[in-house]
């Protein structure tokens, strides 16, 4: 026997109105019968026709109540029986590389560059559908914090664990995350591989030109989001209790102003057939990245079979229409008899 379920069961609460509607019809019809008695119409009818009229009046209310009942059941979307449908899951392999150098503490992007990187990363993870993603942290060096996975909750937990105190490494090597993805991606995965750099672009390490060429040859696409402004901002310094004690200074004692350096980021993106985006006040950089991502080749990860319930709302809907027709016919007949 098929099990019946309802996709929108909240509509079933409306069934409580069905007996009320029937009762209102009975009260209204009793009023009509009393009116006919006062007019003397009922005295001119024989017993059979009188009984037929009363029965028709009751049927009118019953048909209206039943029509309402079945329409409510149809609205609740009854479902019975199931079938299995195969669904192929496709997507890209995306490593999100987040810059943890001290310059990411700068506050030219509110509340600061690192927090903006977190916001972008979380928005991306929330928007993924079928893609696998991983997390890379880098500064002077790079390491995989979370390997590729479709467990988006785990990725979110990793991102949320970042705090301003996390950005303590000195120096930024843009070559480090590029070299790392060269090793973590297998050659057969290259055409589905994507690296997203979230960084202010300040590079104090070696020139990554050689690695960029290798990435381009392997068809690993690198997208870059430049976090910061050309005007720049000083880099706050905090004590062990998280209290700001001043700003970072150079050897001459001058406050260091960290600025967005997007020249290298644009070059990396262009050579690897990726794209460069700059953070904006409208927070649209991730939406633009996702739009670009949708145009890339997708790999088939797996095919799953999902249970799909068969819709059965057509049956109560048809019954509701049937009783509405019977109600209309009964109403017309009653009007004729009353005349």
> For residue 108, what pLDDT is reported?
94
Average pLDDT score over residue span 249-260: 91
Confidence check: pLDDT of 46 > 50: no
Contact 124, 136 (CB under 8 A): no
Q: In residues, how long is the chain?
A: 339
Query: Predicted confidence band at 123 (pLDDT cuts at 50, 70, 90)?
Result: very high
> Which of 57, 55, 131, 167 shows the shortest CA–CA distance to 299?
131
Query: Predicted confidence band at 2 (pLDDT cuts at 50, 70, 90)?
Result: low
> Which of 171, 166, 145 shows the shortest CA–CA distance to 256?
171
Confidence check: pLDDT of 40 > 60: no
Task: Sort 297 into a burial class: Cβ within 10 Å, 0-12 / 13-18 / 19+.
Answer: exposed
What's the pTM? 0.65
Q: Which tokens in the block code for residue 123? A: 């928005």
> Which of 274, 286, 95, 100 shows the shortest CA–CA distance to 200?
100
CA atoms within 13 A on the CB side of 251: 0
Confidence check: pLDDT of 303 > 60: no
CB atoms within 10 A of CB 142: 21
Average pLDDT score over residue span 4-26: 86
Query: Predicted confidence band at 60 (pLDDT cuts at 50, 70, 90)?
Result: confident
Query: Predicted confidence band at 180 (pLDDT cuts at 50, 70, 90)?
Result: very high
Residue 57 vs residues 48, 49, 61, 157, 232: alpha-carbon distances, Å: 14, 12, 7, 66, 83
> For residue 250, what pLDDT is reported?
86
Of 6-10, 135-139, 273-277, the one with minimum mean pLDDT is 6-10
The 3-state DSSP class for residue 5 equals strand
Average pLDDT score over residue span 83-98: 80
Q: 295 or 271: whose pLDDT is higher?
A: 271
Spell out the domains of the chain, with CATH numbers in brackets: 4-82+310-338 (no CATH), 93-297 (3.40.50.410)
Q: Which tokens in the block code for residue 186? A: 């297998």
């Amino acid at each position: 026997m098929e099990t019946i379920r309802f996709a929108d069961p909240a509509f079933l609460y409306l069934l409580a109105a069905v007996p009320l509607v029937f009762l209102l019809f009975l009260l209204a019809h009793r009023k009509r019968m009393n009116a006919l008695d006062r007019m003397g119409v009922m005295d001119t009818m024989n017993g059979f026709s009188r009984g037929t009229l009363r029965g028709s009046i009751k049927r009118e209310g019953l048909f209206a109540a039943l029509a309402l009942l079945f329409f409510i059941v149809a609205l609740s979307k009854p479902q019975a029986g199931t079938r299995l449908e195969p669904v192929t899951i496709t997507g890209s392999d995306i490593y999100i590389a987040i810059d943890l150098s001290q310059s990411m503490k700068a506050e030219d992007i509110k509340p600061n560059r690192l927090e903006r990187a977190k916001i972008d990363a979380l928005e991306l993870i929330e928007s993924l559908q079928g893609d696998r993603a991983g997390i890379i942290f880098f500064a002077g060096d790079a390491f995989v914090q979370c390997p590729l996975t479709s467990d988006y909750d785990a990725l979110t937990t990793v991102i949320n664990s970042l705090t301003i105190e996390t950005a303590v490494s000195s120096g930024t090597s843009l070559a480090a995350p590029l070299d790392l993805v060269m090793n973590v991606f297998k050659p057969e995965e290259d055409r589905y591989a994507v690296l997203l750099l979230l960084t202010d672009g300040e590079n104090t390490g070696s020139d990554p030109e050689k690695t960029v060429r290798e990435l381009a040859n392997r068809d690993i696409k690198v997208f870059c989001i430049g976090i910061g402004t050309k005007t720049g901002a000083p880099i706050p310094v905090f004590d062990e209790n998280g209290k700001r004690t001043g700003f970072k200074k150079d050897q001459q004692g001058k406050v260091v102003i960290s600025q967005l350096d997007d020249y290298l980021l644009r070059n990396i993106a262009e050579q690897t057939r990726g794209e460069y985006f700059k953070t904006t006040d409208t927070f649209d950089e991730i939406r633009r990245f996702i739009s670009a991502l949708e145009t890339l080749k997708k790999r088939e990860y797996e095919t799953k079979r999902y249970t799909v319930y068969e819709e059965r709302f057509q049956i109560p809907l048809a019954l509701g229409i049937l009783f509405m027709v019977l109600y209309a016919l009964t109403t017309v007949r009653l009007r004729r008899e009353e005349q």
